[in-house]
Structure 1
């Protein structure tokens, strides 16, 4: 058997990217393809690169150095007996404790890296090694003796992992889809139902992607593939919602200790570290914990807008001054088109969360001073922070107490109005007449069925006939069948919206600037603890994120704890009538191939309604613009 292994040191520019394949995908593919796969995701890891190739497998790695900056930390990395080789993207926060335990058993190590700890754990426990890891990760490990490839992704889905499966043992994988597109001779066709998913959710839910035969490895799952066999995908972790008997006071104490520990773990790095600060409860709580731990002023950064309805910078400044941070602010006022043009390049498939724009800029701002930034992602999903949860609970009250004939009458009377109040009544009554799972699907999507059916091109509409995008929501909501409505909504978002929207956005926009983002709320122990709490500790008629606000009331002012949640919202309605008007018209109505996917006449109708201010379609128009720009980037 022949094998070669190479590592090159690059000039340090700005976490990591992995890619690889079984040679059954394309027997003639060799080091040139492997290098091309790695180089196209070099922005994820510009510090070092390496490839491993033998008669069965090829592995590529691009490294952003965070722990053990020496060349010993470069990958692909071999086990001590050199019979296993790994490429790894992420951080294992408890690796030092795991390493100490293994050393007590006589295991030797050559580096200070968490990568080598994964190899040692795999040698000892096999696939069960995943239960020991606390962190964010995606990795591929080739076992030469078993002729077996093992892929794994962290419990929450913080780090991405895509794979192409062409049948039998023909498989390739990568941190980003663009690396899989480097294979010569593979014809990647668009999945029509994924276009429908995208227009509904503004992202494409796992395990699907925009392409047939390319999939996301779902969070908390692993894939095992032996030469000559088909891949086996297994779920190794799921969050269990089983209420414990605990007082609110005791729960607050335990939550604080968990978050304090998870924050301290995520502050370990051999490079400069800071935080994203929006002035909301979640990011402010993380900054408060960092300030308590750090001997130096915490470096914080935020994004502002001239439109005060969307500007959170004054709240961020209040928190920054409270904890005496080294604070930086960037205002999104210029070069809007330049930023938007870049987005499809990094997302690889249609993605329409418009908060990607401020996330791009806050990542760029942070990267000027730090290589690692902590963020408040995950607090809303675990502790019931979204306004939609409160609205849904009120709708559930209406559903259970208002006679259906009255709901039907009000729903009919409010149909077709452009005024906001009748439209809200129509939405409320429609949701109240639906089953809770279907109602939450309506809440989590951005386009009704009739609009979707009209806006798809004729052939795409035909290809999607009989397909229901609601399946992605319903299968998760129904999995926790014995839980209450609030818990089922939270579980569904933990499995869909969080990993496929929020974490994708943060990963791609931070990696665009070679910045690693860590989220203490996404520690699986925090998520499991939150899942053990009664739902009324999290959300009720008295408020949202109840336990979180109470826990941090001793550190944060009421102006922060009780402010209305904004999130990273952007003024889309205004942009499409002003800043982005001509650019969007050119992208939507002068695109030679957009008609393959959409009915341009129906797009034109939405555009005219928006420009005349008859209806605000900013959110839908953004999804159409992102679809057009993605098509121009990847389907020229």
Structure 2
């Protein structure tokens, strides 16, 4: 797990940008605190920051060259089946100087080129340079665990793990209004777009090839999902296969030359990972965070039950709201592209505390998107299979809309959920998916923009982007269609981005067994009934491990975690928001937002009916803090 950056210059103008490679590499120091090195020649600059995990010796540092000094690689990630790949290469006469997965990847690419990408089981972003042919291959893993941003123009090709490194090359900072508009709805910016018009994200499962000053984009992997075309396998057989694949996925992710542990929230997903890991690592260290001031969200009791059952060395980081608040500005300072999933605050602190004990942590990320674990999945299911209750909620939509809504009370949150359900149930399949994926409607997001921006031609392009995202939602969808889109939209751009940002800010590698390619491919070969029905979500996961996990973990609501934004905004952060970041002078000078609409949103924030205003305000706070640091 590391940070990478580089430049491929096409002419004299492009060559001038090589001087920025060192600063770009240094900008990634938190991703790779153990070592830094760069390589430059007439046309190329490559930089690497290392977080040492496998073969921590200096001989495994990067950029790494083969013996002939023709091929070079900078690599961020882990290849979990590298030992098998190495054995195959050795049988063909290849020799190795390290025990690292980096050298295996380098030599595999030398022998097989891009055909080797589908042999890799792991997560990665890398650049592979052929000095003799003057070509470069840049690739990203199947599901987007590792980030990769790039710029391509007439003069050069640039790439980096994070935007803060890309910006070291002195690019024009032209805001992409489509991305801003999408961000105001989703609280994140989906790939391949970024907040800047000239910077793109490489899509998961894709690679770029740079040859003769031309760039071509190729897809090497897509989930083998064919709606309605499922394996002819019984539910009990599916459970046995799923358990075996998960056990193998966890085993693969236990390889490390540095201390390794596991996140243990007390939820089902991380508990399954802990149960499997403890079989193969008896000294497993597990980590949880508790919330002393938010008892409703504190699941440390369940985490401790799991830790006791599997005899792990368990550490709980017990936090107050003040502890959470103290890290807000550190997080705002690290975010280099607007990203407003507020649960990142908890992930940041968990990563920071875990890093004091381990360099690698397993997590349960991905299970909800693969197995229908969210409330919205239950809502989609009920729309597709309506009963009397669903019809009644839809028929009384006007009532729910008129009642106070808030995420900060059980009653207010239930009204909010009923209102969103009733509204979404009336929509067509694509609009419903988008509405339930978003925190703000199209209209509400558009109103926040300055009146001059609402009239621009860019709105037509936004429609095209949205259509591309929703292309796999048919008019008569099933739950697997929803999950397929979730993996590409929500998982890649929200959940995995959050974990990568917050863990790498603290030099911690997080591994995700649920996103093993064998597991993902298998789960998308199963019908929706194996994953969800009216009574249960993540059905096959719950049933497969029912006899393994403590019974107390079952039959309780999924809680997640809501950081107390509303309380902070009304108290500690009130002046910072109302008079600074969202103050009239800042907004007027900036020229992006509508002062009157933001004033309405602030009034709602301090009203008795805040609804989702605090989440929308957080998106604006993140954007304004980012703007001030990187643009203003």
TM-score range normalised by the length of the shorter chain: over 0.9
- CA drift at 1:581: 2.7
CA distance in 1, matches of 2:494, 2:417: 25
Name the counterpart of 1:260: 247
CA distance in structure 2 between the partners assigned to 1:332 and 1:237 by the alignment: 43
CA distance 1:412–1:355, shift in 2 (3 Å): closer
Distance apart, 1:561 and its partner CA:
2.8
Q: Which runs of 5+ in 2 are unaligned?
A: 406-411
Q: What CA distance in whole angstroms lies between the structure 1 residues aligned with 2:403 and 2:465?
A: 30
Deviates more, 1:143-152 or 1:84-93: 143-152
Residues 12-41 of structure 1, C-alpha deviations (whole Å, 9 max, x = no match): xxx210000112374343654111110010
Deviation, 1:442, is: 0.4
Following TM superposition, by how much is the alpha carbon of 1:461 offset from its aligned partner in structure 2, in angstroms?
Answer: 2.1
Separation of aligned partners in 1, 2:308 and 2:387: 46
Query: Of 171, 178, 185, which residue of structure 1 is paired with 2:164?
Result: 178
1:629 and 2:628 aligned = no
Give runs of aligned pairs for residues 347-496 of structure 1, distance below 5 A.
347-398=335-386, 410-411=396-397, 417-418=403-404, 426-463=419-456, 466-467=459-460, 474-479=467-472, 481=474, 484-496=477-489
In structure 2, distance between residues paired with 1:78 and 1:603: 53
| Higher alpha-carbon deviation: 78-87 or 309-318 | 309-318
- Secondary structure of 1:203's match? coil
Return the offset for 1:337.
4.3
CA deviation after TM superposition for structure 1 residue 479, in Å: 2.8
- Mapped to 1, the partners of 2:23 and 2:238 lie a distance apart of 50
SS at match of 1:466: helix
User: Is 1:201 equivalent to 2:201 in the alignment?
Assistant: no
- Matched with 2:125 is 138
Deviation at 1:118, TM superposition (A): 1.2
Paired position in structure 1 for 2:84: 97
Q: CA, structure 1 residues 222+416, in 2 after alignment: closer, same or farther (shift >3 Å)? A: same
Alignment partner, residue 216 of structure 2: 232
Shift of 1:578: 3.0
Aligned partner of 1:583 in structure 2 is 576
- Classify 1:332/1:92 alpha carbon distance in 2 versus 1 (closer, same or farther; 3 Å): farther
Does structure 1 residue 514 correspond to structure 2 residue 507?
Answer: yes
Q: CA deviation at 1:302?
A: 2.6
- What does residue range 49-68 of structure 1 map to in structure 2 within 5 Å? 49-68=36-55
- Taking a change above 3 Å as real, the CA distance of residues 60 and 442 of structure 1, as seen in their structure-2 partners, is same
Alpha carbons of 1:169 and 1:232: their partners in 2 closer, same or farther (altered >3 Å)?
farther
Secondary structure at the aligned position of 1:278 is classed as coil
Quote how far apart the aligned CAs of 1:411 are: 4.6
Query: How much has 1:468 moved relative to structure 2?
Result: 7.2
Give the Cα–Cα distance (whole angstroms) in 1 for the partners of residues 464 and 187 of structure 2.
Answer: 15
Is structure 2 residue 99 aligned with structure 1 residue 112? yes
Point out 4+ residue stretches in structure 1 off by more than 6 angstroms: 399-403, 406-409
Q: 1:295-310 residue pairs with structure 2 within 5 A?
A: 295-310=282-297
Q: 5 Å matches for 1:205-224?
A: 205-224=190-209
2:149–2:161 Cα contact (<8 Å) kept: yes
Following the alignment from structure 1 to structure 2, what is the Cα–Cα distance between the partners of residues 347 and 52? 27
Deviation track 1:556-611 (CA, whole Å, cap 9, x = no partner) reads 12221332112232222333223433333244333754342222221121212221
Matches of 2:461 and 2:345, distance apart in 1: 30
SS at the partner of 2:303? helix
TM-score by length of 2: 0.92
Tell me if structure 2 keeps the 8 A contact 1:477–1:491.
no
- Distance verdict in 2 for CA 1:422–1:34, change over 3 Å: closer
Q: How far apart, in 2, do the equivalents of 1:564 and 1:179 lie?
A: 41
Which residue of 267, 284, 298 maps to 1:280? 267
Query: Secondary structure in 2 aligned to 1:33?
Result: helix
- 1:202-225, CA deviations, whole angstroms, 9 ceiling, x for partnerless residues? 100010000011000010000001
CA distance in 2, matches of 1:27, 1:85: 20
The 3 A distance-change label for structure 1 pair 86 and 204 is same
| Structure 2 counterpart of 1:551, from 544, 548, 571 | 544
- Match in the other structure for 1:5: none
In the alignment, the residues of structure 2 paired with residue 23 and residue 478 of structure 1 have an alpha-carbon distance, to the nearest angstrom, of 36
Between the aligned partners of 1:364 and 1:141, the Cα distance in structure 2 is 32
Aligned equivalents of 1:179, 1:538: Cα separation in 2: 41
CA 1:336–1:549: 2 relative to 1, 3 Å: closer
1:471, distance to aligned residue in structure 2 (A): 5.3
Contact kept? 2:273, 2:364, Cα under 8 Å? yes
C-alpha spacing 1:116/1:395, structure 2 compared with 1 (3 Å): same
Contact 1:89 1:159 in 2 (8 A): yes
2:558 is the alignment partner of 1:565: yes
More off after superposition, 553-562 vs 89-98: 553-562
* RMSD across aligned positions (CA): 2.4
1:225 and 1:578 mapped to 2: Cα distance? 52
CA apart distance, 1:475 = 3.0
2:609 is aligned with 1:614: yes
User: CA separation in 2, counterparts of 1:333 and 1:491?
Assistant: 36
Runs of at least 5 residues in structure 1 that lack an aligned partner in the other structure: 1-14
Distance in 2, matches of 1:17 and 1:48, equals 10
Q: Assess, with a 3 A threshold, how the Cα gap between structure 1 residues 395 and 549 changes in structure 2: closer, same or farther.
A: same
Deviation at 1:350, TM superposition (A): 0.7
Query: Which is worse superposed, 141-150 or 58-67?
Result: 141-150
Q: CA deviation at 1:78?
A: 0.9
Rounded Cα–Cα distance in structure 2 between residues aligned with 1:226 and 1:294: 46
- Are the counterparts in 2 of residues 587 and 629 from structure 1 also a CA contact under 8 Å? no
In the alignment, which residue of structure 1 is the partner of 2:408?
Answer: none
- Asked if the contact 1:332/1:358 (under 8 Å) is kept, the reply is no
* Contact 1:304/1:329, CA 8 A, preserved across alignment: no
Match of 2:3 among 13, 17, 28: 17
